[in-house]
Chain A
Amino acid sequence: MTATVLESQLVVGATLFILGVVGFLTRRNLILIMLSAELMLHGVSINLTAFSRYHGNPQGQVFTIFVLTIAACEAGLALSLILSLYQRRKSLDIFLWGKLGEDDLPVFTGTPAPPITVSVDPNVDLPHLTPAGRMPKTQPGPQTKT
């Protein structure tokens, strides 16, 4: 086990962490922001395992397992929050959630994205799943007629 391996790993971990930071700071998509945070966690995980190897004991790996656990919790909660936010504005743009700032200040530079209007084309034949515990419809639906 050479020191160089440890430090190479540390360099990779730092780079991943910084790239995660840059992604967190620049992206406007709520999901990508969360993904960037996960990227930072990856950088930290690499550091932990490298030190674990270096010291020859499993504590670093144990901590990585905890990181994994917390990352899973965070991802689940973050996604549910993002869904909830999305249902309000029909958009994942973080500019739409700038209410924390002072009232009379203009919202941060950049044009807020227009909400996406989801229009369902009635002519498109989408598959319909039958709810559980019911008999499937034998008659063709109205949409399949046209």
Chain B
Amino acid sequence: MDWSKENELLVIPLLLGCFAVWWLMPSAKKRPRIVGVLAGLAACIMIQGMLLPQAGDYIRSVLFFVFAAAAVISAGLMITDRNPVYSALWFALVTLSVCGLFLLNAAPFLSAATIIVYAGAIIVTFLFVIMLAQQAGTATSYDQQPIQPLMATVVGFILLGVLLFTLQEWGAIDGTSTNEHAEPRQFIAVPAEIQPNPLSQAPHDNPHEIGSLRVLGRSLFGDYLFAVEIAGTVLLIATIGAIAIAPRRAQGTL
């Protein structure tokens, strides 16, 4: 029990989050969703408290918290919503929030590309399919019945706990690591000076430029040319596959 007391800052939000997700799961009995929402919000606030203090640059911090909270809450609602259309829309919100986080990570091109690809293409296609399949527009019975909700939630949150515990122990999330011998950032071990890839054509001198199109393009079409070619081939094959699979056929021909 000592362990759980020492880590109650970590354990309590995890338990709360777990309860929230399980409570929000669709079920035969109608549960008041507000309980789950409140529990989830409480968990988010507590874990947000763990992430403080943030030194300086308050605008950046506030933006990060907003995007992160939006992403997590939207994700939770997405996986628990009874209506697949709403789920898809929640997923769009997750994508937008993630794009905001990309922007904070100095990846403007990536942010734009993700919005275009996901929100513009993937989610729209998903919505098309959902609407094609559920023309009545009402929630179907299989969306009301989750599989093994308790087990899946518990396993998932144990895994999350393990990951967060690792970050806490060796990443010094709150700066008060219980492991006194461990040096900060020991587990996420990276040398302070990264040796640049000698073959890389991307310039490293300006750290503010890493997300720029110029640097990305140099890296993609210089260092990762073959990978890009292969990715293109994969795309082509996937396209052909989708065209071959999707058409309506007589029963039993595929």
Contact = CB atoms under 8 A, between A and B. Distances in A.
The answer to whether A binds B is yes
A16 B147 contact: no
Main secondary structure of the interface of A (DSSP, over half): helix
Contacts of A86: 129, 132-133
Nearest to B113: A68
A29 B107 contact: no
Contact of A80 (B47, B130, B246): B246
A53 to B, nearest CB: 4
Contacts of B68: 8, 12
A29 B143 contact: yes
Contacts, number: 284
A84 B252 CA distance: 11
Contacts of A42: 71, 94-95, 98
A144 B106 CA distance: 57
Contact of A29 (B84, B155, B175): B84
A72 B75 contact: no
28 contacts: A5-B54, A7-B188, A11-B167, A11-B173, A12-B101, A16-B75, A19-B76, A19-B79, A21-B156, A27-B79, A28-B145, A28-B147, A29-B142, A32-B143, A35-B87, A39-B78, A39-B79, A49-B107, A55-B194, A56-B207, A58-B211, A62-B219, A62-B220, A65-B110, A68-B110, A79-B129, A111-B145, A116-B134
Interface of B: 21, 25, 47, 51, 54-55, 64, 68, 71-72, 75-76, 78-79, 84, 87-88, 91, 94-95, 98, 101-102, 105-107, 109-110, 113-114, 117-118, 121-122, 125-126, 129-130, 132-136, 140-143, 145-149, 151-153, 155-157, 159-160, 163-164, 167, 171-173, 175, 184-185, 188, 190, 194, 196-197, 200, 202, 204, 207, 210-211, 215-216, 219-220, 223-224, 227, 231, 234-235, 237-239, 241-243, 245-246, 248-249, 251, 254
Interface of A: 2-12, 14-16, 18-23, 25-29, 31-32, 34-36, 38-39, 42, 45-46, 49-50, 52-59, 61-62, 64-66, 68-77, 79-84, 86-88, 91-95, 108, 110-114, 116, 118
